Amino acid sequence: MASNVSSGSAGVSRKPFATGWTAFAACLMIFGGAMAVLQGIGAIVNDDRYVITGNYVYKFDVTGWGWVHLILGLIIVVAGFMLFTGAVWARILGVIAAGLNMIANFLWLPYYPFWSIIMIAIDVFVIWALTAGTHRERA
């Protein structure tokens, strides 16, 4: 006799995302990525607006950094939206992109220190939320 098991009766339920932390990470990625896109556009369009604070070891062209922030921001926004579908690759891409964005914002410190620190903190929360676990254990 063949049994017809639905996903709900077997104790397995399909959800777009497993916990609230994934949704939290997705929202942070969408908004943080959008801020990175705007930061990149601002650096590309008006690169003489940014002032380097003192002597800094990492001196790069502001327009080049604008493109880095723009591309990383777009990748982060796309991965953030894809997290709502439950795609595992979006979780992996989110951790990698957030890590790269942390590095980019660390190197961006002399141009906009306060903004960079906020973006680094957002990326830390994203990485934590994406790696905290994908499901809850029932007691």
Question: How far is the C-alpha of 86 from the C-alpha of 122, rounded, in Å?
Answer: 21
Q: Has residue 97 got a pLDDT over 80?
A: yes
Q: Which pLDDT score is estimated for 100?
A: 93
pLDDT in tens, 71-95: 999 999 999 999 988 888 889 999 9
- 80: exposed, middle or buried (Cβ count in 10 Å: 0-12, 13-18, 19+): buried
In this prediction, residues 88-108 reach a mean pLDDT of 90
The full set of domain ranges for the chain reads 27-48+58-131
Q: Has residue 35 got a pLDDT over 60?
A: yes
Q: Has residue 136 got a pLDDT over 50?
A: yes
What's this model's pTM, rounded to 2 decimal places? 0.74
Average pLDDT for the chain: 79
Q: Which pLDDT score is estimated for 58?
A: 58
Q: Which one, of 68, 56, 133, lies nearest residue 102 by Cα?
A: 68
